[in-house]
Amino acid sequence: VSSVFMVLGLVLTIFRLAYRIWLGRFWVEDAWAGVAFLCGVAAFTSCWTYTKAVGEEGIISFWVYSFTFPSVVWAVRQSILFSIVRIVYTTQHLCRLIFCLAGLFLGLWAGLVAQKAWHYGHNTCWYQTTRKVHILMTQPMIMFELITDCLSDTILIILPLRLLWSLRLPKRQKRMILAIFSSSIIVTIISIFRGVCQISKYITVLALTTDFETALSLLVCNLLVIVTLLYRIISSAGCGRLDLYR
């Protein structure tokens, strides 16, 4: 099931990127969506090879998936963050805030990747196992990841809600945009559940949860573009700030 969502997320990303390029409106948030797509392809491929591989191939698949999974999630967060600039009238203060938050997200992303690289690489005894290779994160690493996930997703929910609340849009359009940005809470819930699985060492459930989080992150990344396009087609008239996503 998670593979179906993953493929759907990748297909929607391709459509989104092609649509934005065709309109000549390709911007920073689309570039981050492209990064998420590339990491998603690598994660999807390594996930499938990991399930059937042992030995060196399994080790390589584990390494690739361990880094591409968080890269998908954080690239999606960057894309959502810069999408706010498209919707809201931007002041110099808001632009500085967005870029500062983007820098914060990059720092948290790099911190997580660095921790994983050191934890998996400084002691390679787990390479010698004859079974399927897997090494769990330490509890401090799990807590760091969980806190950063909750912090970043809270920012991505509260910031657009605060900025869009006073924006003059028809109620239906405003509710739709607010709902799209609020959908990040679904990823947060899955992230919390994944953290619980890691602490409890539920390996089987953990793998499935991680796949779902990757897939849903890609879906959430493209919601604003896809849903507003469908809304425009159905209503046959786009108005207000939604024109930015034509």
* pLDDT confidence band for 3 (50 / 70 / 90): confident
Q: Alpha-carbon distance 12 to 25, whole Å?
A: 17
Q: Which two tokens mark 200?
A: 């409890």
Q: Alpha-carbon distance 22 to 200, whole Å?
A: 47
Cα atoms in the 13 Å half-sphere on the side-chain side of 85: 19
Q: Is the pLDDT of residue 241 over 70?
A: no
Cα atoms in the 13 Å half-sphere on the side-chain side of 220: 30
- Contact status, residue 83 vs residue 104, Cβ threshold 8 Å: no
Q: Is the dihedral of CA 43, 189, 82, 176 positive or negative?
A: positive
Range picked from 108-112, 160-164, 186-190, 196-200 for highest mean pLDDT: 108-112
pTM value surpassing 0.85: yes
Residues in CB range of 216: below 8 A, 6 or more apart: 5, 9, 186, 187, 190
DSSP 244: G
CA 174 to chain centre: 23
Q: Which two tokens mark 81?
A: 């963050």
Closest CA to 17 of 28, 5, 31, 6: 31
Q: Is the pLDDT of residue 243 over 70?
A: no
Q: Alpha-carbon distance 59 to 237, whole Å?
A: 52
| Domain formed by 2-245, architecture | Up-down Bundle (1.20)
Q: What's the average model confidence in pLDDT over 15-27?
A: 90
Q: Which two tokens mark 227?
A: 């849903």
Q: What's the average model confidence in pLDDT over 62-76?
A: 94
Q: Mean pLDDT check: name the lowest of 39-48, 56-65, 139-148, 164-173.
A: 164-173
Residues in CB range of 7: below 8 A, 6 or more apart: 44
